[in-house]
Amino acid sequence: MIGATHYVALSLVLMCIGLVGVMVRRNFITVLMSLELMFNAVNINLIAFSFRLGDLAGQVLAIFVITVAAAEAAIGLGLIITLVRLKDTVALEEADEMGG
Amino acid sequence: MTLEQFVPFLPEIVLATAGFIVLLLGIPLGRGGVRQLSIFGVASLMVTGVLVWLFGRPADGPALILGDMLVIDNFAVFFKLLFLAAGAVAIFMAAGFLERFGYGGGEYVSLILFATVGMFVMASGASLASLYVGLELMALSVYVLVGYFKLEIKSNEGAVKYFVLGAASSAILLYGISLVYGSLGTLDLQQIRDSLTSVPTSNPMLVLGMVLVCFGMLFKVAAVPFHVWTPDAYEGAPTPVTAFISVAPKAAAFAMFMRLFFGAFASGIDHWRVVLWVASAATMIYGNVAALTQDNVKRMLAYSSIAHGGYVLMGLVAFNQTGAWAILMYILVYAFMNFGAFGFVILLESKGYAGEVIGDYAGLARRHPGAALGMLVFMLALAGIPPTAGFMGKLYIFSAAIEGGYVLLTVIAVIMSAVSLYYYFRIVVQMYLYEGDEEGAEPAEYLRDRWAEVMIAICIVITMLIGVWPAPVVGWAKTAASALGVM
Amino acid sequence: MDFLIANFGAILFYVVAAITVAAAVAVVAFRNPIHSAVALLLTFVMVAVLFILRHAEFLAAVQVLVYAGGILVLYLFVIMLVRITDLGPGRVFLSGLAPLAILGGVVLGCLIAVGILLGSMAAGAGSTAAMTAVEGEALGNTEAVGWILYMKYLVPFEVVSVVLLVAMIGAIVFGRRDAALAGAGEEVEP
Amino acid sequence: MKLYDLIWLIPILPLLGAIFNGLVSNRLGLSKTITHTVALLGSGSAWLLGWGAIVQWILDLGIHHTHIVSLYSWIQGGSLRILDGSTADVNIAASFQLDAVSALMVSFVTFVGFLIHVYSVGYMHDESDRAYARYFSYLNLFMFSMLVLVLGSNLVVLFVGWEGVGLCSYLLIGFYFEKDWCAAAGKKAFIVNRIGDWGFLLAIFATFMVFGTLEFSEFFPMAAGHPEHYATAATVIGLLLFVGAIGKSAQIPLYVWLPDAMAGPTPVSALIHAATMVTAGVYMVVRCNVIYRISPTAMLVVAIVGGLTAIVAATIGLVQNDIKKVLAYSTVSQLGYMFLGAGAGAFVAAIFHVLTHAFFKACLFLGSGSVIHACGGEQDIRQMGGLKKYMPTTYWTFLVATLAIAGIPIFAGFFSKDEILAKVFEGGAADLNHFGSAYYALWVLAVVGAIMTAFYMFRLVFMTFHGEFRGGEEAEHHLHESPWTMTMPLVVLGVLSIFGGLVGIPGKLFHHPEWNLIERFLEPILLPIGHAAEAGHDVSHHAVSLGLEWGLVFLSVAVASFGIWMAYRFYMGAEAMVRPKRLAERFPLAYKLLLNKYYVDEVYDATVVGGTVKGSRFLWEVDARVVDGAVNGTALSTVGSSFLSGIFDLRVVDGAVNLIATIYDVGSRWFRKLQVGFAQGYAMVMVFGAAILLAVFYLFKLN
Amino acid sequence: MMDFQYGYLLNLIVYLPLAGALVMMAFINKENSTALKTWATLVAGIDFVISVPLWFLYKPDGAEFQFATIKEWIPSVGVQYIFGVDGFAVLLILLTTLLGFIAVYCSFTAITERQKEYYVFLLLLQTGMLGVFCSLDFILFYVFWEVMLVPMYFLIGVWGGPRRLYAAIKFFLYTLVGSVLMLVGILTLYWFNANGLAAIGLEGLGNEPTFSVVHLFTIAGQIPPEVQFWVFLAFFVGFAIKVPMFPFHTWLPDAHVEAPTAGSVILAAVLLKMGTYGFIRFSLPLLPHATIKAVGWVALLSIIAIVYGALVAMAQKDMKKLVAYSSVSHMGFVMLGMFALNDAGLRGSILQMLNHGVSTGALFLLVGIVYERRHNRMIAEYGGLAKVMPLYATFFMIITMSSIGLPTLNGFIGEFTILIGVYNHSWVWALFAASGIVLGAAYMLWMYQRVFFGELSNEKNKDLPDLNRREQWTLIPLVVIAFWIGLYPKPFFERMAPTVDRVLERVAVAMPEQAPTAAEQVAEIAHAPAGEETGERGE
């Protein structure tokens, strides 16, 4: 019988993939995609739980998450555009003016 | 759901609307009319303030409104007023700065207003859902604000870093929320609190959820090890924004932090206290020590604000009534002294990020004694030297920690606050002990700007006032904190 | 055969899950962002399927619409816009960091997993009961969600709308080319 | 109003003089006349008042009455729990007391002091006005201190004077401060004295701890009342006090400062370093005779130190060629005799010797002063000779004084010194405190010392006044007798050196003990100890038969004459100066040893002084490096991690003065390395940080 | 326990300099140096004048704390504004006001640039120091305690010598570290008196929380020894750094050497007393058990300080450094006398504080005078000064003598009283401590000899002008006091006696045999306006 546990495990895997993606990719766009993966992972969790608990709050929250994710995507892409304008690159780690 | 129910929600509505209007006004005005927009923005903030005062305050005890999404209590009021003040200061301080750098004011002001709305929700959210969206609203606005000087590489870079890390961390936060939801079946803080008293908090998944939420919050308050975004975001952001985000979002984050951990997750304290203890100690040490060798004032203040976050966390670790109101007190004090300090950075900063290096302050006492004196006051306050407000803030935090019995933590804290004096005084040394005419020194010119100066003056007055006569503020903080009903 | 029927749900789940994970990995692994985008699309869809498996049809719809329909298109547009798709051979990953990063991710994952597994073990018994209880009726249907969304979660909903507004502003701020500003910008360009 | 109620005024009068000369004439540079008038007024009035007071005291109250004048309560140290468990108030009064011994001291201190003031008028006349004023203010100040010392009615007031005279001697030795060695000598004197004072202070504390009071009139009776009860305490106190005395009265091992002290003007040497200050130690021991008498050990120590000093100083004196150095060592040696006497229980004799010594030694110094004056500052007797015909007065007075010190009968020195020798011998004979043999040994030493005394004193006389002048032509022209202001005191003192001794005729030799005025006069200060201890007293009477006593007398006369004869053989007539050379050649080592004063100074410099200075330098290094470093080192804990980064060593090697800053600096930079500068890096920091936090969390949660 | 008569007096004394400074900031043009000097002198002078009445109005047989003021300050946390002084504090206040005045007066010609700031800081410093001696509420005390640091920092940092930056920050950091730890101690006491410390399971007394020292005195007896130990440690670091005691003294030489004359004077004369004041006012009465436990160690450190300080002083080539190290030695005496924990010892140590203030203050003035003429402090640079500057030499001699404890001068009374007390406690200590007197004479006289005696070798010194009238007047008061204390210390002893007795009573709590009686005494002392809302619950 497939329980919440399976879903949670899956979402955890997705989460980690997303996290690793954020860390290893140089291309800002792909990094953004990885972020989306992480949000999806969360959503899987929420849905699984809401189903298990027979409670809709989870789903509602998931909707918010999706929306927010969309908004973040928009801003992120905007940032990419400026980055490209200023430095003519989409390589995230080349934004390293500051540090230390 | 009747219309009357929305009355307490009025402030948020007004603010959002005002933000929208400013945005629209801003489009035709383009780069001009910053001042007018600022006045409009601040006016709307004031109106909101009045509304908060009229409808925001609970008639009798905390009240849940609008489907238990928001709670109306003194705690929220305290923070809301703080946010409003912060917003106003940020807008007024920015006006001259934006003009100097040739950026339009419309988006800026509206973003500040929207961010304020988000923080309102964070401060008064009664459900994980509302808290989360509030958080995101605030965060997104701030991302944009940080990147607002889109032609400055640093600005953009700061925004990028802040954004990427912020998004990741909010995912973590959400993950935590989902776990909590999964194990308790509700998003409403009140219910969470109640069920936590019944459900054994030993449930690892639940506790893990709390811890992940805690991580998310720690990111927002820039606590080690989630502080990494801070220095770059602060340094990169336009200075008024830096001032704003170093104060308001941080305060909002702490407000949410307290809502969650003094309110909903209170009975889980024994599980996550250790995390906070470590984070707090690490933050204080890291922030202060790393700040010692910073030559860029904005960056130094960034580290210093990390460190201050650490002090505030002590209040959470202590987890007692004193801690609760001490945090409020500290945040309030910190808001004004930090704003003041950044105010001078703003006044000294001209295009090309001149005026950010410590050397730029050389001999300020000679050329502008008033300014130097003001800066001195803020440096002392940040270092926690009486009779400034900074000391009063620290006093209560430390007091709370001692009451909690966390002597070691307190000792770390006091030692570190002594250390912090060193880097704050590096600026003082430049201002007073150097003449500014040594070879190789080209001190930045001090660009007069009435509005900013008035704001700074207000900050000075408040900083000194609280330092000398803190009783009333302490009173408010206590009433506000009591709304949380910690033990 | 009977086995298949008996455990259809399970099998389906495993298959879908496998595809999801594979797609996700592909997103991270593909060199060309466009390919990654396609893989991402696959992931979204699969997640939507999982939603359906958990009786969240409405959400599944939203997922497909917003993500696949909205966000992904946005991505593709940007990719085209910036025209810098391929960072060139060997410059896909932060080669230096990659192993460390994976290690970190895995470690963190495991740490979290520990918690969750322990947790679900602890709460396992009760949950199955709850699930079976809600098994029957049509849960997660659009109207139910809509109802609760507008009755209870109105405030967050409103706020989210503002969030979108802010996103829009962000897009404006970052996207707008401003000749004058550019002029102003040149001065600061080193 | 009786004069003896005004004894507090006796010190004050010179003080006024000092203040006037110091503040007014020195600042304004008033003429010498005014200066020395004031000075003489100061000391003279003190003299008159002193004698008047004493006379009235004797007449009205009698010598058995100790008259105490308490001015005001000075130090209120609160109450302390003392040894016997009771609590006593530390309440020290500024009070003065007039009794036999202080009367005696006052009488001759004021008198000799006055004479020397007079003398100085002549001696110092070619100093500049200011220097002149300074000199006299110092001199008056000294009178003040000395009188406080002798009049003080408790240990603390005594200590005030004690330190005061130390200060004045410091100032006066360093009077010619332009000369480095004078200044150095002054400093040396003060510091060596301070070492003594260290003992004195501890003695005071011990006394209070034991008796709960510091007033002589209170704790002497207590001690005398229960000798056996206080015996141990008395030993401690007595020895500590004696440490003070050693310093002040230049006894072994602290005598080194006195010869150097001759750097000061000669009158000063006469007054301070011969007549008065250096005898303060003796005075103190006599004053505290009760303490010593109930503590045999202390007494023996006093005797031994005294005896050794007497002989050692005498030997050194044999070969010195600086006229004042010779006198200095003879002073040391004479002081040794005094202590020897005191140590043998002859307190009266000791004081008696102080008195006579004051006369003849002052006379000698003043004489030498007038010689030096005549020879234009020349002090080497090898450059003198035959001065007899140029300065007869000086010569005769000098000769008289020499005879006195040599111990020729009817001269003052004879009586006192003989008294001491006799008492020491009796001490041996009576097996005093069962240390008989020790006292015999000391007696032998003393006798040998007497020979030497006679020898080197006459050596001095012969080489200075007889034979041919060896100072060269043009020096010879300047030779002249000194002005009356200088000769007058000489004469007076000379006379006193002859007849001064008559106050202490050893009457018992003629079955007339009452003839010995001084013994009768001082008798009251020798409180009877308990009841058994009369023994100590009786001994001196019956232990030695009369015949033997006479024998001793003759012996000492013989001894003295022998010494004189030797000196004559060596330094007069045909073979003058030849024999000594021959002797020196025969015993080169011994000669060098003596000539260099046993190298004691060198040894001290090498060990004590050098040691201290080196030690302090070393400590300073330590302070600069280690202590500072250690304190700063605590910062290590803050950033111990930073040891890993090589920067750290580099910094330390740099030897940055401010280690703490360095360490924080390093730590700071190390921390900043976390701030790698690009987003993914930050993400990793966060992830790992989170992992660590989680791990910590689990660790704490699982237990 | 408190007497509110003339309460306004203290406030006046404390805040007058502050007001003066503000006025100066606001109204006096920074170019107009005469006006600045006159005003500063005026303010400081008046402050001294109005502080003199304390000397006469203080009633030795009266309440423990007189001229008291009590106002609510931060009621919700039990922070009160409590002013009040006992004889001990009165003496220190007079010392402060006098030396404050002298400090202003002595800098007329020494300070030539940025005079306005300079005098402002001097006056602020004045307020800070006076406040410390007046405050009877821990927070109030702490506020003043730290306020003091800032002006001092600037005095050293702006007008100091070549290494001033380093010296200033070192001074500030050292003292700050000490005081923040002290704050921890204070808070521990505070919570012990109230709810207790949760996590370490320390039960509190459940009293109304208060920082009022007068109240905390009443509960001193009930603090468990182990708590006392830690609190004592915290206090100790704070105060010992200020004193400074042996291992913590390294900031002193730097600060002294770099500071301008007035700075050194204030530093030596008053700031160092803060530490010892703290010990006597807080550590001893509040933490009797810990105190008695600590006696041995403190005594050891003090003796080391005495000998060590003297020896290091001997090695110095720089006059100011020498004097600085001599302070270390002298303060060692003060600490030793204090921890003899008996009447004489405490009285002596209090008196010695004043003496050290007077003598060392004067010494720094004197060094500053030649420094101002030659801009050089190296002993080697001088020699034979007595010839060109006889008056200067005279003053220097008098002060030297006072600092090496010559009878009839103040130093002797202090050292004598201390040592008799110390001897009473342990003769071994006295043995070592007394050696400090010998060494003291050694290094002071050696310096004196090298500076004033010998050939007038250095050309530059040939025509140094002697003291001018102003310089004389800065020194004369101190000399007069030196003689006054030396000849007639009675009034001083009278005024400090009550303090000493009370301190000893409170320490006696920890001595088993007297415990009950002493406790009762403390209790009945405690009935005071300050204690009223809390005092009763104290027992």
Nearest Cβ partner for C172 among B102, B107, B208: B107
Give the pLDDT band of residue C118 (cuts 50, 70, 90): low
Q: Does A96 touch chain C (CB under 8 A)?
A: no
Mutation target vs A (from D647, D666, D673, D680; most A CBs, 10 A cutoff): D680
Residues of D in contact with A20 (CB under 8 A): none
Q: Does D671 touch chain B (CB under 8 A)?
A: yes
Range E198-208 average pLDDT: 82
Range D574-583 average pLDDT: 67
Determine the number of helices (DSSP H) and then strands (DSSP E) in chain C: 9, 0
Is the pLDDT at B159 greater than 70? The verdict is yes
Nearest Cβ partner for B208 among C115, C166, C182: C115
Provide φ and ψ at B108, rounded to 5°: -55, -55
Contact criterion met (CB < 8 Å) for D612 and E442? yes
Instruction: Indicate the helix (H) or strand (E) that contains D74.
Output: strand D67-81
Q: Which residues pair with D322 in a beta bridge?
A: D380
Is the pLDDT at D609 greater than 50? The verdict is yes
Give the ipTM: 0.87
| Conformational region of residue D176, where left means phi above 0, alpha means psi within -120 to 50, and beta covers everything else | beta
Task: Output the CA torsion sign for C175, C176, C179, C185.
Answer: negative
| Four-CA torsion D274, D277, D279, D284, nearest 10 degrees | 180
Nearest Cβ partner for D687 among A19, A96, A97: A19
Q: In E107-250, which ranges are continuous DSSP H helix?
A: 115-134, 138-147, 149-159, 164-193, 213-219, 225-242
Pairing verdict, β E66-74 and D87-98: unpaired
Is the pLDDT at D56 greater than 60? The verdict is yes
Mean predicted lDDT score pLDDT of chain B: 88
**Spatial contact of C85 and C32, defined as CB atoms under 8 Å apart:** yes
DSSP secondary structure code for residue B195 in this structure: H
Is the pLDDT at E35 greater than 80? The verdict is yes
CA-nearest residue to D681 within chain B is: B228
Summarised one tens digit per residue, pLDDT across range D136-183 is: 888 899 999 999 999 999 999 999 999 888 888 888 888 888 887 888
CA distance B133 to B120: 11
Task: Output the CA torsion sign for D336, D337, D340, D345.
Answer: negative
Contact criterion met (CB < 8 Å) for D680 and A96? no
Return all residues near D312 (Cβ < 8 A) that are at least 6 apart.
D252, D333, D336, D598
Q: In A25-56, which ranges are continuous DSSP H helix?
A: 28-53
Range E240-251 average pLDDT: 84
Higher pLDDT, D188 or C134: D188
CA distance D188 to D174: 10
Per the structure block, which two tokens stand in for D681?
Answer: 């890096």
Range A26-55 average pLDDT: 88
pLDDT given for residue B439 in this prediction:
67
Mutation target vs E (from B376, B399, B486; most E CBs, 10 A cutoff): B399
CA distance C87 to B480: 54
Is the pLDDT at B463 greater than 90? The verdict is yes
Give the pLDDT band of residue B138 (cuts 50, 70, 90): very high
Per the structure block, which two tokens stand in for B355?
Answer: 């005026």
Residues of C in contact with D698 (CB under 8 A): 111, 114
Nearest Cβ partner for C166 among B9, B66, B144: B144
Residues of B in contact with D692 (CB under 8 A): 225
Per the structure block, which two tokens stand in for B290?
Answer: 């790393």
Least confident of B199-213, D325-339, E5-19, E484-498: B199-213
Mutation target vs D (from B292, B294, B417; most D CBs, 10 A cutoff): B292
Return all residues near D138 (Cβ < 8 A) that are at least 6 apart.
D18, D168, D171, D172, D175
CA distance D566 to D454: 9
- Residues of chain B above pLDDT 90, percent: 50
Higher pLDDT, B446 or C24: C24
Helices B74-101 and B321-348: angle between axes, nearest 10 degrees: 10
Provide φ and ψ at D91, rounded to 5°: -135, 95
List chains touching B (3+ CB pairs under 8 A). Answer: A, C, D, E
Residue in D359, D261, D260, D350 with CA at minimum distance from that of residue D310: D350
Q: Which amino acid is at A43?
A: N
pLDDT given for residue E361 in this prediction:
93
Portion 299-358 of D in contact with E at CB < 8 A: none
Contact criterion met (CB < 8 Å) for D681 and C97? yes
Contact criterion met (CB < 8 Å) for A47 and C153? no
DSSP string, E12-60: HHHHHHHHHHHHHHHHS-TT-HHHHHHHHHHHHHHHHHHHHHHHHH--T
Residue in D392, D417, D391, D390 with CA at minimum distance from that of residue D403: D417
**Spatial contact of E287 and E235, defined as CB atoms under 8 Å apart:** yes
CA distance A88 to D172: 91
pLDDT given for residue D531 in this prediction:
57
Nearest Cβ partner for A81 among C44, C78, C113: C78
Q: Which residues pair with E318 in a beta bridge?
A: E378
Contact criterion met (CB < 8 Å) for D684 and A23? yes
Portion 79-98 of C in contact with A at CB < 8 A: 79, 81-82, 84, 87, 91-94, 97-98
Summarised one tens digit per residue, pLDDT across range D341-392 is: 888 888 888 888 888 888 888 888 888 888 888 887 778 877 777 777 888 8
Mutation target vs D (from B229, B274, B289, B294; most D CBs, 10 A cutoff): B289
Summarised one tens digit per residue, pLDDT across range B357-373 is: 888 888 888 888 888 99
Beta-carbon count within 10 A of E529 CB: 15
Mean predicted lDDT score pLDDT of chain D: 80
Least confident of B124-138, B418-432, D409-423, E502-516: E502-516
Give the pLDDT band of residue B310 (cuts 50, 70, 90): very high
CA distance B219 to B306: 11
Residues of A in contact with D677 (CB under 8 A): 96-100
